[in-house]
């Protein structure tokens, strides 16, 4: 099935089809600036990036994805060489550590968080500091293609030279008179011009050699260079939070296309913000919430993930603590059902009734699930489907009206759903589940025994043992016990 996603560049739904001959979907996700603990809004962003990749894989695509780690050059005001210090250096000063240690500390924390929310979005996590030569190459191309100019403080991109500037965000150069928006220094030609390379003072902590003297890269150039370096000049999908759209992504397009002469990203996917008290999260207002805070208050990080999935990624989500209670209850509802199904599938006898009323049509549910996600990552619909299944089968389960065979099918279905969700635990099942494969061997063995074909029956027993179960014949039929 094909994914249809909202493309923020064209403002329309677009079917995802690979643009490169090898059929691989190349995705670049703007990642964290590793200078402080991420808030739950940032985490929404990482979960959406993960959801996109997992959905594509679920729908049968082959994906190569990159999420960058920004560990240099993200200035407080990202477009000026002089205005605003590097966020990494501010953190280094605050914590009395070197920028390298700050980066290592928060990169590690970032990965720990990904683990806690069971997100594994990327095949590569390039660090900006490791790709400075690639950035210098792109800047050199931009200069020779006439898109960049040098000043005393650095190299700037001249937005007026790039005719498509503003196509993504609608912030066209014509709208803003030079100097109108931000008091530009004389050396910058236009208000939207942005820095590609900053010439560093001697004492600046992070600096590299370049054709323009020692310095460090601007933030936007990092993503253009790393995307090109790891994925090529034209990628399928670029993602980011909605605040990244301007100026960051607008500038990425200008740089990438200015350097390569080719279209940079086919589809742009932007997630909406998570708000607290209806506003942007801010430390000063006490609304800067971290995953640790969620855990400290007794909630699971996966309940937070459930909360996120109840809202479509392109809708704003206002976080309130009471919503975490309902999210916890919701996730527990799914988990309890799964636990009961697991218990059914490992029961020694199968006394559940099997009739057409309690049969599960896995194929139909799989299709509905894929459809929900294929429709611009419709997690609220996918979750609603999960509850529809629970509402239908839980009463049967409670009244012992569900056969083991159906239980196994439901479990397989939920397992496939969870490859995308990553929020259900199948831990017990790992050790004890009778998979459909084992159940089929058991039925084949039953038939062989009825036909007194003991050679085949012994052969099948060996195959069942190989799958981790001992099988004994009793008056009640064959009994399975997991081999420890």
Residues at the interface with ligand AMP (CB under 6 A): 30, 32-33, 41-42, 44-45, 240-241, 243-244, 271, 273-274, 281
Q: How far apart are CA 405 and CA 403, in angstroms?
A: 5
CB of 201 to Zn ion, least distance (A): 26
Report which residue's Cβ sits closest to ligand AMP.
241
Interaction partner, residue 41 (Zn ion, ligand AMP, none; CB < 5-8 Å by kind): ligand AMP
The answer to whether the beta carbons of residues 350 and 405 sit under 8 Å apart is yes
| 175-204 footprint of Zn ion as x/- string (CB under 5 A) | ------------------------------
- Which DSSP string corresponds to 22-41? T-EEEEEE---BTTS---HH
**Among candidates 331, 360, 333, 348, which has minimal Cα distance to 422?**
331
Q: Which one of Zn ion, ligand AMP, none interacts with residue 223, CB within 5 to 8 A by kind?
A: Zn ion
Alpha-carbon gap, residue 398 to 358, rounded angstroms: 12
Between residues 78 and 478, which has the closer beta carbon with respect to Zn ion?
78
Among residues 5 and 251, whose Cβ is nearest to Zn ion? 251
Report helix, strand or coil for 382: helix
How many chain residues are in contact with Zn ion, going by CB under 5 A?
2
Give whichever of 25 and 223 is closer to Zn ion, judged by the CB atom: 223
- 137 vs 293, which CB is nearer to Zn ion? 137
> In the bound complex, what is the minimum distance in angstroms from residue 263's beta carbon to ligand AMP?
22
- Which of Zn ion, ligand AMP, none does residue 301 bind (CB under 5 to 8 Å by kind)? none
Cβ 281 to ligand AMP shortest distance, Å: 6
| E strand spans, 306-427 | 317-319
Q: Tell me: does residue 386 bind Zn ion (CB under 5 A).
A: no
Closest CA to 30 of 204, 245, 209, 217: 245
**Local structure of 317: helix, strand or coil:** strand
CA distance linking residue 265 with residue 72, whole number of Å: 24
**Which is nearer to ligand AMP, 289 or 331 (by Cβ)?**
289
| Shortest CB 220 distance to ligand AMP, Å | 12
- Residue 305 binds: one of Zn ion, ligand AMP, none (C-beta under 5 to 8 A by kind): none
Nearer to ligand AMP, 161 or 273 (CB): 273
- DSSP H or E run through 5: strand 4-7
Candidate list 159, 223, 225, 289; residue touching Zn ion; CB under 5 A: 223
**Nearest CB to ligand AMP, comparing residues 113 and 390:** 113
Q: What angle do CA 236, 238, 242 make, to 5 degrees?
A: 150
Q: Which residues contact 111 (CB under 8 A, 6 or more apart)?
A: none
Q: Which is nearer to ligand AMP, 206 or 460 (CB)?
A: 206
Least distance between ligand AMP and beta carbon 401 (Å): 44
Nearer to ligand AMP, 71 or 236 (CB): 71
DSSP per position, 76-138: SSTT-SSSS-BHHHHHHHHHTS-HHHHHHHHHHHHHHHHHHTT----SB--BGGG-HHHHHHH
Place of tokens 């996730």: 331
30 binds Zn ion, rule: CB under 5 A: yes
Cβ atoms within 10 Å, residue 386: 23
Residue 358 has phi, psi (to 5 degrees) of -110, 15
Q: Which does 445 bind (CB under 5 to 8 A by kind): Zn ion, ligand AMP, none?
A: none
DSSP E strands: which ranges in 180-285?
A: 194-199, 215-217, 235-241, 265-271, 274-276
How is residue 338 written in tokens? 């799964």
Q: Of these partners, ligand AMP, Zn ion, none, which one is at the site of residue 266 (CB under 5 to 8 Å by kind)?
A: none
Q: Which does 153 bind (CB under 5 to 8 A by kind): Zn ion, ligand AMP, none?
A: none
Query: Whole-number minimum distance, CB 442 to ligand AMP, in Å?
Result: 49
Of 30 and 195, which CB lies nearer to Zn ion in the complex structure?
Answer: 30
> Nearest approach, Cβ of 255 to Zn ion (angstroms)?
11
Q: Does 408 bind Zn ion (CB under 5 A)?
A: no
What distances in angstroms separate CA 4 from CA 16, 267, 382, one per listed residue?
A: 6, 11, 15
Q: How far is the CB of 85 from ligand AMP (least distance, A)?
A: 15
The tokens 């400290």 sit on which residue?
Answer: 296
Q: Where are the beta strands (DSSP E) in 137-223?
A: 148-150, 154-157, 194-199, 215-217
Residue 28 · residue 66 · CB < 8 Å: yes
Minimum separation from the CB atom of position 223 to Zn ion (A): 3
Question: What residue 273 binds from ligand AMP, Zn ion, none (CB within 5 to 8 A, per partner kind)?
Answer: ligand AMP
Cβ of residue 7: shortest distance to ligand AMP, in angstroms?
A: 17
Q: Which does 32 bind (CB under 5 to 8 A by kind): ligand AMP, Zn ion, none?
A: ligand AMP
Could you tell me the smallest distance in angstroms from the CB atom of residue 43 to ligand AMP? 8
Q: How many residues does the chain have?
A: 484
- Residue 74 or 190 having the CB closest to ligand AMP: 74
Using CB under 5 A as the criterion, which residues of the chain lie in contact with Zn ion when the complex forms? 30, 223
């Amino acid at each position: 099935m094909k994914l249809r996603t909202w493309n923020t560049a064209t403002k329309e739904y677009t079917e995802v089809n690979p643009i490169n001959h090898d059929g691989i979907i190349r995705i670049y996700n703007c990642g964290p600036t590793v200078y402080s603990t991420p808030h739950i809004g940032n985490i929404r962003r990482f979960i959406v990036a993960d959801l996109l990749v997992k959905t594509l894989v679920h729908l049968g695509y082959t994906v190569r994805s990159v999420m960058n780690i920004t560990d240099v050059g993200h200035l407080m005001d990202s477009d000026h060489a002089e205005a605003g210090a590097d966020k990494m250096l501010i953190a280094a000063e605050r914590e009395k550590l070197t920028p390298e240690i700050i980066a290592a500390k928060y990169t590690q924390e970032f990965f720990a968080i990904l683990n806690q929310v069971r997100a594994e979005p990327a095949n590569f996590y390039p660090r900006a500091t490791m790709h400075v030569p690639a950035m210098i190459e792109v800047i050199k191309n931009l200069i020779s293609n006439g898109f960049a100019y040098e000043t005393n403080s650095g190299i700037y991109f001249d937005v007026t030279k790039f005719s498509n500037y503003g196509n993504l965000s609608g912030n066209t150069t014509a709208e803003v008179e030079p100097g109108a928006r931000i008091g530009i220094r004389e050396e910058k030609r236009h208000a939207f011009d942005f820095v590609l390379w900053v010439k560093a003072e001697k004492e600046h902590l992070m600096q590299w050699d370049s054709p323009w003297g020692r310095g460090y890269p601007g933030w936007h150039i990092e993503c253009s260079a790393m995307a090109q370096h790891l994925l090529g000049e034209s990628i399928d999908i670029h993602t980011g939070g909605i605040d990244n759209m301007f100026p960051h992504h607008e500038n990425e397009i200008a740089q990438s296309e200015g350097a390569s002469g080719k279209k940079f990203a086919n589809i742009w996917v932007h997630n909406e913000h998570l708000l607290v008290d209806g506003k942007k999260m801010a430390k000063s207002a006490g609304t800067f919430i971290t995953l640790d805070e969620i855990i400290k208050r007794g909630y699971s990080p996966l309940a937070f993930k459930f909360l996120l999935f109840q809202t479509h990624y392109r809708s704003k989500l206002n976080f309130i603590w009471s919503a975490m209670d309902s999210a916890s209850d919701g996730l527990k509802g799914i988990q309890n059902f799964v636990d009961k199904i697991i218990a059914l599938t490992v029961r020694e006898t199968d006394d559940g009734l099997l009739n057409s009323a309690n049969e599960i049509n896995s194929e139909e549910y799989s299709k509905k699930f894929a459809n929900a996600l294929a429709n611009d990552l419709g997690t609220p619909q996918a979750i609603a489907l999960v509850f529809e299944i629970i509402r239908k089968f839980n009463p049967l389960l409670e009244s012992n009206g569900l056969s083991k065979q159906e239980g196994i099918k439901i479990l397989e279905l939920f397992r496939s759903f969870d490859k995308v969700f990553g929020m259900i635990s199948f831990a017990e099942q790992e050790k004890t589940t009778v998979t459909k494969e084992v159940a089929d061997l058991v039925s084949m063995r039953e038939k062989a025994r009825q036909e007194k074909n003991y050679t085949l029956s012994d052969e099948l027993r060996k195959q069942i043992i190989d799958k981790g179960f001992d099988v004994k014949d009793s008056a009640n039929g064959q009994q399975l016990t997991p081999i420890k």
